[in-house]
Amino acid sequence: MSIKLDINKIHITQILKAMTSNLSLYDYLNYLGDSAIQRGANEIKVLAEDKDEYPIHFIDNGHKFRDFISNEGIFLHELHLKAPLLYSSTAFSNFIELSNYVNASNNQKISLNLFNDSQNELKISSDNVDFEYLQKLSESENQSLNCLSLKKVVCNLDDNHRDNFYNFLNTLKNNFTYRYHKLIDKKILKITFLPERKPLINFNPLFENSIFKKEISEIKLDGRKYKCKIKSHVISKNTSKEEIKASCPSGSLEGSCGIFFYNSNNILINKPSYFNLQKTLNVQYAKKENLLKHIKIEICFEGLIDSSLEACRTFLKDKKNKILISNLIEKATKEVDQIIIPRINEKPDKLMIMNSIFQKKIQELRSQELTDDQCLGQLIKLYPNKDHQRIIKEIMLNVN
């Protein structure tokens, strides 16, 4: 008995879909954002339209996509090398279009439609840009723009097109505002949803500028293999629910604890975890889980542009590094019970502490170029307590 392949029964689209089937939405979105930053973009705009084919357009001001290839044919096995964005996008859409618009006489688009009649060939069509919104946006901002357009994205085969559309956008928002939180916070990167032009606000997983965080130690490694700065942070057990909710997509301490790796561009490389180091820690088992959720180990690489998980794994494969990080975690667990911020409702200086928290949050939102009405709307969502909202309104009236 043998298993045979009838090449005449296989369609090139089926092979391409099989090749990209292992690509997760998380990894795809990482690639979209990272590639824009590597091309020099400092702003990413997302235009999503809830209509007909549910188009989603990713617009950036970086250099031209490398996928704009010559008219020569490409073999399927070369596609991921010569046109990586086209290749990876086929995992989530059957229609992909890439545009580069400089001006009316200098522009180009290429399109790939996986619904074609040819069994062994996919046509990549080339033409002038006809996306009017992109043209007007480029001319109004007086800068060249790139655009990736997808139609009818598919995240889950069991969902309808509209559900897939909104699941994709929700995952995008969470992914971008978490992975690039340092870049957004430092105004190195701006991510805006169109047409309302509303900048996304970053999550704050490291509790920057929070009174509920204490930095335990800082170490600088300057060896041949690794150059990085390592910091260990402990989050107070009585941290405010509002700050926890604003720290990560899950809105919980458990969802954002462990080791945070950053490359030299301040991009969060990994989904924070302990990489199984928790199994060998010298910490009382009954308390371990509750203690570890309050700890964050921040590792910032120098001279590392790569944003793949392999860099994290390679670092932790080194025995010395593994022992160093384990010791930092163990030391931090001993501090968790010692760091208690006075509870607001038990102290007479309640108003002073609340003012400090709210002023920092207002400054953070205003730094995102939001109007006072937009700031107030965001703060009301974060702080549903009516007394807190009254204090916030008073601060906004008095602080310019």
Q: What is the pLDDT of residue 136?
A: 96
pLDDT, tens digit (0-9, with 9 covering 90-100), for 322-332? 999 999 999 99
Q: Does any domain span residue 298?
A: yes
Q: Does any domain span residue 204?
A: no
Over 80: is that where the pLDDT of 151 sits?
Answer: yes
pLDDT, tens digit (0-9, with 9 covering 90-100), for 203-220? 999 998 887 888 988 999
Which of 316, 336, 356 lies at the terminal end of a domain, its last residue? 336
Q: In terms of domains, do 159 and 228 share one? A: no
Q: In terms of domains, do 32 and 129 share one? A: yes
Over 70: is that where the pLDDT of 261 sits?
Answer: yes
Q: In terms of domains, do 126 and 219 share one? A: no
Q: Does any domain span residue 205?
A: no
Encoded tokens for 372: 């006072």
Q: In terms of domains, do 219 and 80 share one? A: no
CA distance 352 to 113: 60
Range of the domain at 355: 344-398
Q: What angle do CA 183, 272, 265 make, to 5 degrees?
A: 25
Which of 173, 199, 225 lies at the terminal end of a domain, its last residue? 199
Q: In terms of domains, do 228 and 107 share one? A: no
Q: In terms of domains, do 255 and 142 share one? A: no
As a whole number, mean pLDDT of residues 148-168 equals 93
Q: Does any domain span residue 127?
A: yes
Q: Domain count for the chain, please give it.
A: 3
Which of 199, 234, 257 lies at the terminal end of a domain, its last residue? 199
The answer to whether 267 and 179 have CB atoms below 8 angstroms apart is yes
Closest C-alpha to 292, from 276, 278, 308: 278
CA distance 98 to 188: 25
CA distance 91 to 19: 9
Q: In terms of domains, do 293 and 359 share one? A: no
CA distance 29 to 48: 15
Q: Does any domain span residue 2?
A: no
Q: Does any domain span residue 18?
A: yes
Q: Where does the pLDDT of residue 189 fall: very low under 50, low under 70, confident under 90, or very high at 90 and above?
A: very high
Over 80: is that where the pLDDT of 345 sits?
Answer: no
Spatial neighbors of 57 by CB under 8 A, at least 6 apart, are: 46, 47, 48, 131, 133, 134, 147, 148, 149
Q: In terms of domains, do 128 and 230 share one? A: no
Q: What is the pLDDT of residue 346?
A: 44
What is the chain's mean pLDDT, rounded? Answer: 89
Encoded tokens for 86: 């086209």
pLDDT, tens digit (0-9, with 9 covering 90-100), for 291-322? 999 999 999 999 888 888 888 999 999 999 99
Q: Where does the pLDDT of residue 391 fall: very low under 50, low under 70, confident under 90, or very high at 90 and above?
A: confident
CATH of the domain at 154: 3.30.565.10
- Residue 5 CA, chain-centre distance (Å), reads 41
Q: Which of 42-46, 261-265, 360-364 comes out lowest in average pLDDT? A: 360-364
Sheet holding 295-301, edge to edge: 213-222, 227-235, 295-301, 258-262
Over 80: is that where the pLDDT of 356 sits?
Answer: no
Q: 289 vs 363, which has greater pLDDT?
A: 289
Q: Where does the pLDDT of residue 348 fall: very low under 50, low under 70, confident under 90, or very high at 90 and above?
A: very low
Q: In terms of domains, do 363 and 227 share one? A: no
Q: What is the pLDDT of residue 342?
A: 54
- Kindly give the interhelix angle for 25-38 and 161-179, rounded to the nearest 10 degrees: 50
pLDDT, tens digit (0-9, with 9 covering 90-100), for 24-83? 999 999 999 999 999 999 999 999 999 999 999 999 999 999 998 766 778 999 999 999
Over 60: is that where the pLDDT of 349 sits?
Answer: no
Closest C-alpha to 378, from 222, 246, 279: 246
Secondary structure of the chain as H, E, C letters: CCCCCCHHHCCHHHHHHHHHCCCCHHHHHHHHHHHHHHCCCCEEEEEECCCCCCCEEEEECCCCCCCCCCCCCCCHHHHHHHCHHHHHHCCCCCEEEEEEEEECCEEEEEEEECCCCCCCCCCEEEECCCCHHHHHHHHHHCCCEEEEEEECCCCCCCCCHHHHHHHHHHHHHHHHHHHCHHHHHCCCCEEEEECCCEECCCCCCCCCCCCCEEEEEEEEEECCCCEEEEEEEEECCCCCHHHHHCCCCCCCCHHHCEEEEECCCCCECCCCECCCHHHHCCCCHHHHHHHHCCEEEEEEECCCCCCCHHHHHHHHHCHHHHHHHHHHHHHHHHHHCCCCCCCHHHCCCHHHHHHHHHHHHHHHHHCCCCCHHHHHHHHHHHCCCHHHHHHHHHHHHHCC
Q: In terms of domains, do 173 and 82 share one? A: yes
Q: In terms of domains, do 172 and 295 share one? A: no
Q: What is the pLDDT of residue 120?
A: 84
Q: Does any domain span residue 108?
A: yes
As a whole number, mean pLDDT of residues 246-252 equals 94
Q: What percent of the chain has pLDDT over 70?
A: 95
Q: In terms of domains, do 100 and 175 share one? A: yes
Q: Does any domain span residue 12?
A: yes
Over 70: is that where the pLDDT of 334 sits?
Answer: yes
CA distance 203 to 201: 7
